[in-house]
Chain A
Amino acid sequence: QKEVEQDPGPLSVPEGAIVSLNCTYSNSAFQYFMWYRQYSRKGPELLMYTYSSGNKEDGRFTAQVDKSSKYISLFIRDSQPSDSATYLCAMSVKGSSNTGKLIFGQGTTLQVKP
């Protein structure tokens, strides 16, 4: 079993829809949770960063962490064609000797149709 599981999709939605992207994990030591966005033919870029359970909002994006269920989500409101990309969740262990090392999910490909 992979440490981090993410449905690769693809996910196709109409413009304006609410999108929900999810990851599950098995390592209860994970304490830092990230979402990266990767456009076609580009490297990933950090989109959202959370520490501990709860919600974090940034514009149309909301990151949610439920440590009791080992489940994280990214919600995109009023989705736009420019949101079409691959979204990767990533996690890290606090105080790990491998400082900065991340474990990534497989990535979910999202297409938002005009």
Chain B
Amino acid sequence: DVKVTQSSRYLVKRTGEKVFLECVQDMDHENMFWYRQDPGLGLRLIYFSYDVKMKEKGDIPEGYSVSREKKERFSLILESASTNQTSMYLCASSFLTAVGEQYFGPGTRLTVT
């Protein structure tokens, strides 16, 4: 079974803090993705990566950065957390040529106060 794990299920941070969200996959997938999910807005792509040290901006990259130093690990960084970044964050992975089939982690519910 493909497994995508995320470092925390729930996280509470203060405004201005630097926040790290970690994602690890065990299927040797080339692609990894970070989404945020908000009511009424669905899943929106923040960043994705198709190879180690490679990254591409998604639809809403402002206020976020990412790091991919190893193939199995993809980190999302909130440089200075703000209340409008309170959301559910979902990590996903897929094979390079797999159009459509992404495997998701359980999500991290981040609250910024």
Contacts and interface: CB of A to CB of B under 8 A. Distances in A.
Interface residues of A, number: 24
Contacts of A106: 40-42
Contacts of B101: 34, 46, 49
A100 B48 contact: yes
Contacts of A41: 106-107
Interface in B14-71: 31, 33, 35, 39-45, 48, 50, 56, 58
Describe A's contact surface by its main secondary structure. loop
Contacts, number: 69
Identify which of B90, B103, B104 gathers the most chain A CB atoms within 10 Å of its CB: B104
Given A43-B4, A43-B104, A43-B107, A100 B43 contact: no
Contacts of B33: 100-101
B31 A46 contact: no
B58 to A, nearest CB: 8
Interface string B73-113: 00000000000000000101011111111111111000000
A99 B100 contact: no
Contacts of B94: 100
Given A99-B50, A99-B97, A104-B43, 6 more contacts: A8-B40, A43-B106, A45-B104, A46-B102, A100-B31, A101-B33
